[in-house]
Amino acid sequence: MNAETSDLIAQRIEKVNALRQKGINPYPVRFARTALAKEIKDTFVDGEERVVAIGGRIRTRRLMGKASFANIEDLSGSIQIYAKRDDLGEEAYERYTGLDLGDIIGVEGKTFRTKTGEISVHVTSCALLAKCINPLPVVKEKDGVLFDEFADKELRYRQRYVDLIVTPKSRQDFILRSRIIAGIRSYLAERGFLEVETPMMQAIPGGAAARPFITHHNALDIDLYLRIAPELYLKRLIVGGFEKVFELNRNFRNEGISTKHNPEFTMMELYQAYADYHDMMAITEGMISTLAQDLLGTMRIDYQGSTVDLTPPWERITFVNIIKKYTGIDFETITTVEAARAAAESVGLHPDTDLSIWKIANEIFEERVEDKLIQPVFVMDYPKELSPLAKSREDNSALVERFEPYIVGREIGNAFSELNDPFDQRARFEEQVRLREAGDDEAQMMDTDYINALEYGMPPAGGLGIGIDRLVMLFVNTASIKDTILFPLLRPE
């Protein structure tokens, strides 16, 4: 903190001290509100004076000598207040004009409409409820347009509390996030899903290909991993007879930070017994389109220059066919690595030499197809070797019943008909272990207890995971995941 800052702060601390000397607590215990800003404006009737007590933060002020206006803001909105020296008396008015932008105050007064038409509160008494010592960024607004918007992204992320005070869009976006999550919960609850909580600290981190965070339990003296996915525990619950379960909580992956990645992110995973991946598609498109309709009032939403139509049904196309559609390459007819490599070369890609046919196909998909998938689409039937927990297709053992929903060029989820054959699952794990031993540190670990669970019999089931932060990105139209996470991970200052 430099001299200038401390000047501004010192002035305010001085005001606090002066108040305390007069026996006034600048942080009193309580203030009873009887009204909210928005509700006052919504219910105002001309000619009917209403006595109200409102609390909020001073966001603007216009002092004009012996009278003054200010706007105070509560969560519902902002309302103008009007104070006159003649009403308050000299001492109280002086205390009133000594308030600062950012102070939280409680005001009692009478509603009225000014001669320029603004519904306001004529102050009869005013109490400081919490002094704001640190100067806020000064953001002004006219007709919904912000001036000198709080623009320093680092500060907005580090001091989200300041961002929330001064950036209405930020406030709205996080409220929308909360409503999306609440909407998912009620959508699933209405359909009989049971919300459960499974371990975040796991001895074997399974269910995804990712590097985990490691922590240590002192009493047991064992390392534990923060979960990278809840999948294997949720499926144990399907074994246990819970036929519809979901978990909506954090996963942790020890990987890079980007506009699309935060080390802890929120995932919704659900599993449904006696369902398959077609049922998961119906849930995905039904849930997301319903959320859009309920929360945004439309299924057509604008995102970063594109308009996306979420109206079901979404397009369904296989992995092989969508590659063919966008590149002309037909993996149904490719039977050798050489041919696959030649195909990749034909679209300007140079895959690593040790890749299999299907890994080359995946590279072509990711490099040449993915970012073109603006409208919602279910890409179905992925290669088995990329999907160690999904059930094989009966008509093609190289493929599995898996899909990923794509919107605006981004994978927003992952789903399959769950592999419930313990023999096959064991073989898949063994293959993963082999890859891990060959140096693939994202390959999965053997989980013998999970195999043990499957050996008790898991009914056929569909499973679905949706990345909530990315879904929220779509709904709030932001290019950065940090705008959807209240406190994104940043390097400590």
Enumerate residues 456-485 that contact RNA by CB under 7 A.
Answer: 465, 467, 469-470, 479-482
Give least dist CB 51 to RNA, A: 16
Binding mask 365-404 for RNA (x = CB under 7 A): -xx-------------------------------------
Tokens 């979420």 — which residue? 310
Give least dist CB 77 to RNA, A: 13
Among 44, 53, 80, 194, binds RNA (CB under 7 A): 80
Among the listed ranges 187-195, 198-206, 389-397, 411-419, the one in contact with RNA (CB under 7 A) is: 411-419
- How far apart CA 481 and CA 475 sit, in angstroms, is 12
Give least dist CB 290 to RNA, A: 21
Among 24, 42, 153, 448, binds RNA (CB under 7 A): 153
- How far apart CA 35 and CA 56 sit, in angstroms, is 11
Q: Is 80 exposed, middle or buried (0-12, 13-18, 19+ CB in 10 A)?
A: middle
Site for RNA contains 69 (CB under 7 A): yes
Query: Which tokens in the block code for residue 123?
Result: 């102050």
Q: Of 49-68, which residues contact RNA (CB under 7 A)? A: 60-67
Q: Of 10-29, which residues contact RNA (CB under 7 A)? A: 11
Give least dist CB 327 to RNA, A: 16
Give least dist CB 6 to RNA, A: 8
DSSP SS3 for 45: coil
Among 22, 30, 142, 350, binds RNA (CB under 7 A): 142
Site for RNA contains 255 (CB under 7 A): yes
Site for RNA contains 117 (CB under 7 A): yes
Contacts of 297 (CB under 8 A, 6+ apart): none
Among 25, 259, 311, 346, binds RNA (CB under 7 A): 259
Give the closest residue to 127 by CA, choosing from 64, 66, 63, 58.
58
Site for RNA contains 493 (CB under 7 A): yes
Give least dist CB 85 to RNA, A: 6
Site for RNA contains 353 (CB under 7 A): no
DSSP SS3 for 482: helix
Q: What are phi and psi of 294, to 5 degrees?
A: -70, -40
Give least dist CB 1 to RNA, A: 8
Distances (CA, A) of 378 to 24, 184, 210, 321, 403: 64, 20, 23, 12, 6
Site for RNA contains 151 (CB under 7 A): yes
Q: Give the largest Cα separation in the chain, rounded.
A: 91
Q: What are phi and psi of 28, to 5 degrees?
A: -65, 165
Give least dist CB 29 to RNA, A: 26
H-run or E-run covering 215: strand 214-217
Tokens 């390959």 — which residue? 443
- Amino acid (one-letter) located at 190: E
- The DSSP bridge partners found for residue 258 are 261
Among the listed ranges 205-213, 219-227, 232-240, 323-331, the one in contact with RNA (CB under 7 A) is: 205-213
Give the closest residue to 104 by CA, choosing from 145, 57, 50, 149.
57
Number of amino acids touching RNA (CB under 7 A): 83
Site for RNA contains 442 (CB under 7 A): yes
